Amino acid sequence: MPRLWDVGHCIYCGSSADLTDEHIVPQSFGGTWVLPKSSCKSCNVVTSKIEQYVARNMYWLPRVKLGIRTNPKRKKEKPKSWPIDIVENDLTIRKYIEINDMPLVYVVIEPIVAGIIESRPLSDRNPEMKVSVKGDISAIERLMVVESANIQIISDSLWFPLFQMLAKIAHAYTVAVAGSGGIAFFLPELILGAKKFVGHYVGGMIDETPDMKSDEQLRLSLRTIRNEKYLCVTINLMPNTLPIYDVISAKLIDHSPVMSRIKLYNEYLENRG
Ligand SMILES: [Zn+2]
């Protein structure tokens, strides 16, 4: 498991006490990169809760079905069955389907492009997004025929924890690649729970699919918006399953040290072929 440089302070609140290691992409989503000594214990409680919600309540089914690696220590918690509600007339009956017989279905949340990219004014309103259900819809229809009733799939899909998790990944990756000096970060407050302005920084894909390798979940790029330089993290959390997200994580203040680190990063990307 690649360990990057020791940060020496909490990347969310700045504290230098009780530092723990931080996975950039959660292990439950196949992440392997660790940023050592970069999260304090109390921020770790917050980010772990967010990750648990998204991994278990929202995307457990696709993770299990698609065989996405879970934390080896938590293997026991893998579910053997999945709840569905059978709805007939006014009656709802909960039934458990063996995980192998359960069709793959999941909620997909697609926000519009981050507001900062399009120069939209800062807004407290919830970001615009499209919510849809994807997966093996025809298998669900077959299941309805078998049960001769309508079926409701039980799945939580609160958008805010997902956006918080995307912000967390983008922020940690930005620190890992570009360091923490000479940069004004946007995301720590949002990660720790402030719902304000979330659609300004977290959004859907800006350009066409970036040229990312199939095993590549993250890509940092430099973007110029109204003559200022910003850092953008493209997140392909579950390739071919979830949408690609683009998160604007920070603004460059002191260009030269950050640019030289980004140059090293681009050389690293080129050399890995
Ligand atoms: Zn902290």
Averaged pLDDT, 24-31: 93
Q: What is the pLDDT of residue 214?
A: 76
* CA distance linking residue 214 with residue 197, whole number of Å: 32
Q: Give the chain's mean pLDDT.
A: 89
CA–CA–CA angle 32, 81, 65 (5° rounding)? 40
Going from the Cα of 125 to the center of ligand 1, the distance in angstroms, rounded, reads: 27
Q: Is the pLDDT of residue 248 over 60?
A: yes
* CA distance linking residue 257 with residue 272, whole number of Å: 23
Kindly report, residue by residue over 171-219, the tens digit of the pLDDT: 999 999 999 889 999 999 999 998 889 999 999 999 876 678 877 899 9
Going from the Cα of 230 to the center of ligand 1, the distance in angstroms, rounded, reads: 24
Phi, psi (rounded to 5 degrees) for 263: -65, -45
Q: How many CB atoms lie within 10 A of CB 186?
A: 24
Averaged pLDDT, 160-172: 97
Q: pTM for this one? A: 0.91
Going from the Cα of 33 to the center of ligand 1, the distance in angstroms, rounded, reads: 19
Going from the Cα of 21 to the center of ligand 1, the distance in angstroms, rounded, reads: 12
Going from the Cα of 195 to the center of ligand 1, the distance in angstroms, rounded, reads: 18
- Contact call for residues 153 and 144 (beta carbons, < 8 A): no
Q: Is the pLDDT of residue 55 over 90?
A: yes
Going from the Cα of 175 to the center of ligand 1, the distance in angstroms, rounded, reads: 14
Averaged pLDDT, 213-233: 91
Q: Is the pLDDT of residue 2 over 80?
A: no
The percentage of residues in the chain with a pLDDT greater than 90, rounded to a whole number, is: 55
Going from the Cα of 51 to the center of ligand 1, the distance in angstroms, rounded, reads: 16
Q: What is the pLDDT of residue 74?
A: 61
Going from the Cα of 49 to the center of ligand 1, the distance in angstroms, rounded, reads: 14
Kindly report, residue by residue over 67-113, the tens digit of the pLDDT: 876 666 665 566 788 888 888 778 888 888 888 888 898 999 999 99
- Give residue limits of the domains in the chain: 19-271
Find residue 131's DSSP bridge partners. Answer: 109
Distances (CA, A) of 59 to 4, 55, 97, 258: 28, 5, 17, 35
Going from the Cα of 165 to the center of ligand 1, the distance in angstroms, rounded, reads: 15
Going from the Cα of 200 to the center of ligand 1, the distance in angstroms, rounded, reads: 23
Going from the Cα of 65 to the center of ligand 1, the distance in angstroms, rounded, reads: 34
Three-state secondary-structure class, residue 38:
strand
Going from the Cα of 71 to the center of ligand 1, the distance in angstroms, rounded, reads: 23
